[in-house]
Amino acid sequence: MPKRVLLGVLLACGLTASALQPVLAQEPKTGGVINAVIQPEPPGLMLAMIQNGPTQMVSGNIFEGLLRYSPKLEPLPELAESWSVSEDAKTYTFKLRKGVTWHDGKPFTAADVVFSIEMLKQTHARARNNLVQVDKVEAPDDDTVVFTLKQPFGPFLGIFEVGSMPMVPKHLYEGTDWKTNPYNNAPVGTGPFMFKEWQKGSFIRLVKNPNYYEKGKPYIDEIYWQIIPDAAARSVAYETGKVDVLPGGSVENFDVPRLSKLKDTCVTGAGWEFFSPLAWLWLNNRQGPLADKRVRQAIMYAIDRDFAKDVIWNGLGKVATGPSASTIKYYTSDVPKYPYDPAKAKALLKEAGYKGEKIRMLPLAYGETWQRWGEAVKQNLMDVGMNIETIATDVAGGNQKIGDWDYDIAFTYLYQYGDPALGVGRNYVSSAIAKGQVFNNVEGYSNPEIDKLFADGAVATPDSKRKEIYEKAQKILVEDVPVAWMLELQFPTIMRCKVKNLITTGIGVNDGFKDAWLDK
Amino acid sequence: MLSFVAQRVVKGVIVLLAIIVLNFFLIRLAPGDPAVVMAGEAGASDQVFVKQLREKFGLDKPLPEQLFIYVKGVVTLDLGFSFRQQAPVAKLIMERLPATLLLTLTAFAISLMLGVLFGTFAARFAGTVLDTAITVFALIFYAMPIFWVALMGILLFSVTMDWLPSFGYDTVGANLTGFAHVVDVARHLVMPAMTLGLFFMATYTRMTRASMLEVKRLDFVKTARAKGLSNAVIQRRHVLRNALLPVVTLAGVHAGTLIGGAVITETVFAWPGIGRLMYDALLQRDYNLLLGVFVTCSVMVLIFNLITDLVYRLVDPRIEFAS
């Protein structure tokens, strides 16, 4: 087995060096500083206003949600210590932890939750969509919040992690202009770490919250998020001991095996279960050869996805079988299969009458790995006789072209958030076709049966009914190939072995460092 | 002289306005806008969200109105607000300016001093082994891409020898003060300044050498020699001084671009300067910030052009301040 494949298998199994150590048996030690890399520099840290990846990663330490999620995506207590669901599945009651305070000392109460929900409906696009079934939110007392839904919403308990629904201090935001509130630049949360300093272009410094409600936590005194824009320089910073943690995606894939072998280095692929990043090729279903299902199926057969996994991604990740990642709810592998079969691809292209029309492909401008993947896919498609023209753009330009439907094939990867109703349906239902937007149904796939299945699946009860609906949807989609699913991505987190318990939930590094400690 | 300066300032203001208008439209020609970028980064882009962002950025207004608002702001020394970074553009630029000036001025000084020195030696000993060695040395640094020199420097001096830090402005978390902090910053400055400086040094070396060899052939040098002046005096007072004019021109052009010209060096060494600010603003389509950096750079170019013209006269008194 090639080494990089072995590495991938080990990571996939969670059998990393750190995981093998008897971490749980050790008593956590307090003190110390963790230097971690953040890339790119976040535009801001107010999680309720800005939701990009780096903001979530840093602010996941400052803010908190009502719940966290285990690697198996089971809800865990955070600011809510318990919850219950009514028999008709329309009323959710959360009991909040007592004694929680904001970083400025004011108490956290149910009124903050109600205010946060109202604010997020206006400032947080994903939260707004997640809350569409919510009829009202009430706070009968300081420690209780009751959500009443218009109708049962299956994934409701899955929408409360910090990035999806961060709690905002009502006393600092109510009645202010949220956009220019001074606390956007000095955020105040309930989390284990408090914002201390941000030297733009250099670092963000967080310090321990001494009044954190979980006694003894956090164990670490300070976190420095170092801003290093060049991927090679980030690798060197780790190699020379200047940083301790490289969160997933911080370095180019080809550096991962080398860095993994460094002394006292531990690697883990864990912590992405909630997000389950899935990579695929948008295929413009509207026009040209790709409007024909047989051509889209030919693309699936033409691409050697195992090669991409083993060579370009160093054995990390898993070949995708359809629209759902295998880590999210209601996934099924019982769908039509598309093994690497160039002969079949050629036959399908011939049957569809493809005559070498030019097909424009947009790779993803996320660095060298993605560029190489673009080249590999182009080669695969040209091998079966397709005439591929690569269009080079930066991220903004690429998004614009995809949103304007001005492409034939385009790379992307999106998070799935644990449930098909939250992170899958949005890419296939016809109500999500809207020109000028990215990350919805930009391929232009329209199938009334799929529309109905996703509409029903979101509100169906019991769980077995949802399972049945989503399995059927997966089978139909895989047969129709509205997009070409590539890989379930895995972004390994590289760290010094002395950093313990960095990742304890399915939200990974984005869930904050409250459990982390240094074995000095 | 005063009228010359006044005329140049007036012309400068007109040029600056033209630059602003041109850049304003040029930036918007690139596909994608800040709303699309931010919606993309948030992984959710429903119509309400993008519309909200466009309204927030003022992108929903007609282009001429956006331009008018911007120019009106610049006239009152207000470079606008970066909604992406949640801060006034002028503040963001001022935060980064000291780091950039430290890096580029150090690099500029290194390149100019070493370049003129090596160029003079090469011309003085033209055709000898020393001349060849200097020329080859200069060509190597001129030909190598800056990012490659930077990475090789990091590999050698940080990874292998562990002499110098590989990134940043100072040691994060060390909380050094006074002289210890100065030494710390200097240690961080060595590699980026040398990387940037060596490239420009090569240019000055070649330029000085060529220019001196040309001047050496002129009649007044023969006259000086005939007068019995020593070789050192001829080289210094007659040849070098006259040969410096093209070098001053080149240095003037370089100096003007110093503010924004260190993008690659700042990126590789994670130096928190304006070059990186500009690069990030470009990728994120942060229009106001990008225009703000352009305006700052343009002003610097205009100022340095003016200084170059004034220095000309000092180097060669025959040049007059023509209107």
Residue B46: pLDDT band by 50, 70, 90 thresholds? low
Instruction: Burial-class residue A216 by CB neighbours within 10 Å (0-12, 13-18, 19+).
Output: exposed
**How many Å from the N-terminal Cα to the C-terminal Cα in chain A?**
36
Q: What is the pLDDT of residues B175-204, one digit of tens each?
A: 888 999 999 999 999 999 999 888 889 889
465-504 in chain A: CB under 8 A from chain B: none
Residue of B135, B117, B115 lying closest to B126 (CA atoms): B135
> Cα–Cα distance between A317 and A339 in angstroms, integer?
17
Residue B161's closest chain A neighbor by CA? A240
Asked if A40's CB is within 8 angstroms of B154's CB, the reply is no
Size of interface A-B (CB pairs under 8 A): 167
Q: Residue A390 — pLDDT band, cuts 50, 70, 90?
A: very high
CA B81 to chain CA centroid, Å, is 24
Quote the minimal CA–CA distance from A38 to chain B in Å: 12
A301-324 pLDDT tens trace:
999 999 999 999 988 899 999 999
Using a CB–CB cutoff of 8 Å, tell me whether A101 touches chain B. no
Q: How confident is the model at residue A19, as a pLDDT?
A: 39
Distance from CA of B43 to the nearest CA of A (A): 7
For A376, the token pair is: 């590999």
Contacts of A232 in chain B (CB under 8 A): 151, 154, 268
- Contact yes or no for B42 and A230 at CB 8 A: no
Nearest to A397 among B32, B47, B284 (CB): B32
pLDDT band at A119 (very low <50, low <70, confident <90, very high): very high
Q: Does A403 reach chain B within 8 Å, measured CB to CB?
A: yes
Q: Which one of B167, B171, B265, B269 would you mutate to disrupt binding with A, by most A Cβ within 10 Å of its Cβ?
A: B167
Ranges of H-type helices in A137-245: 170-173, 231-239
Optimal mutation site among A47, A224, A400, A433, interface B, most CBs of chain B within 10 A:
A400
**SS3 state of residue A248:** coil
Nearest CB among B95, B172, B270 relative to A229 is that of B270
B83 pLDDT above the threshold of 90 = no
Neighboring chain B residues of A242 at a CB cutoff of 8 Å: 165-167
Task: Give me the residues of A, 209-228, that contact B with CB < 8 A.
Answer: 222, 224, 226-228
Report the residue of chain A nearest B162, measured CA to CA.
Answer: A240
Cβ pair A128:B43 closer than 8 A: no
Residue B71 has pLDDT above 90, yes or no: no
pLDDT digits 0-9 by tens, B275-298:
888 888 888 888 889 999 988 888
Residue A167, pLDDT > 60, answer yes
Least confident among A244-253, B60-69, B177-186: B60-69
Determine the pLDDT at residue A343: 97
Contact list in B for residue A255 (CB cut-off 8 A) is none
Instruction: Reduce the DSSP state of residue B114 to 3 states and report it.
Output: helix
Partner-chain residue, chosen from A185, A236, A414, that has the shortest CB–CB distance to B166: A236
CA distance A79 to B129: 76
Q: Tell me the pLDDT of chain A averaged across its residues.
A: 91
Q: Does the beta-carbon distance from A50 to B284 stay under 8 Å? A: no
> What pLDDT is attached to residue A386?
97
Average pLDDT score over residue span A85-105:
95
Neighboring chain B residues of A229 at a CB cutoff of 8 Å = 267, 270, 276, 279-280
Look at A230 and B284 and tell me if their CB atoms are within 8 Å. no
From residue B222, alpha-carbon distances to A195, B90, B218, B227 in Å are: 72, 55, 7, 9
Residue B176 φ then ψ, to 5°: -80, 150
The answer for residues whose C-beta is within 8 angstroms of residue A406's C-beta and 6 or more apart is none
The predicted complex's ipTM stands at 0.79
Those of residues 118-177 in A touching chain B at CB distance below 8 A are: 122, 125-126, 128-129
B246 touches chain A (CB under 8 A): no
The predicted-structure confidence for A32-61, as pLDDT tens digits, reads as follows: 999 999 988 888 899 998 887 889 999 999
Q: What angle do CA A191, A193, A198 make, to 5 degrees?
A: 120
- Nearest CB partner across the interface for A395, out of B40, B44, B46: B40
Q: What is the pLDDT of residue A18?
A: 42
Of B32, B99, B269, the CB nearest to A396: B32
- Nearest by CB to A125, from B31, B42, B162: name it: B42
Q: Tell me the C-alpha distance between B291 and A324, whole Å.
A: 43
HEC profile of A293-336: HHHHHHHHHHCCHHHHHHHHCCCCCEECCCCCCCCCCCCCCCCC
The residues facing A308 across adjacent strands are none
Contacts of B159 in chain A (CB under 8 A): 236, 239-240
State whether residue A446 sits within 8 Å of chain B by CB.
no
Encode burial over A411-423: b for 16+ CB neighbours within 10 A, e otherwise. Answer: bbbbbbbbbbbbb
Q: A202 to chain B: nearest residue by CA?
A: B272
pLDDT digits (tens, 9 = 90+) for A9-24: 444 444 344 433 444 5
Residue A128 with chain B: CB contacts under 8 Å: 46, 48-49
The answer to whether the CB atoms of B99 and A436 lie below 8 A apart is no
Position A281, amino acid: L
Q: Which residue has the higher pLDDT, A361 or A399?
A: A361
Which chain B residue's Cα is nearest to A243? B172
Mean pLDDT of B206-220: 89
> Could you tell me which chain A residue has the CA closest to the CA of B163?
A240
- Contact between residue A493 and residue A248 where contact means Cβ atoms under 8 Å apart: yes
Q: Which residues of A touch B92 (CB under 8 A)?
A: 200
Q: What pLDDT is stored for residue A21 in this prediction?
A: 42
Separation between Cα atoms, residue A401 and residue A393, nearest integer Å: 9
- The C-alpha atoms of residue A304 and residue B138 are separated, in whole angstroms, by 48
Partner A, chain B 49-108, Cβ-Cβ below 8 Å = 49-50, 52, 56, 83-87, 92, 95-96, 99
| B157: Cβ contacts below 8 Å, ≥ 6 apart | B163, B164, B191
Distance CA A91, CA A275 (A): 26
Q: Does A440 contact B at CB distance below 8 Å?
A: yes
B46/A128 CB distance under 8 A:
yes
The residue in chain B having the minimum alpha-carbon distance to the alpha carbon of residue A277 is B43
Judged by CB atoms within 8 Å, which residues 258-277 of B form the interface with A? 267-273, 276-277
- Write out pLDDT tens, residues B95-151: 998 999 899 999 999 999 999 999 999 988 888 999 999 999 888 988 888 888 888
Residues A246 and A238 sit within 8 Å (Cβ to Cβ) = yes
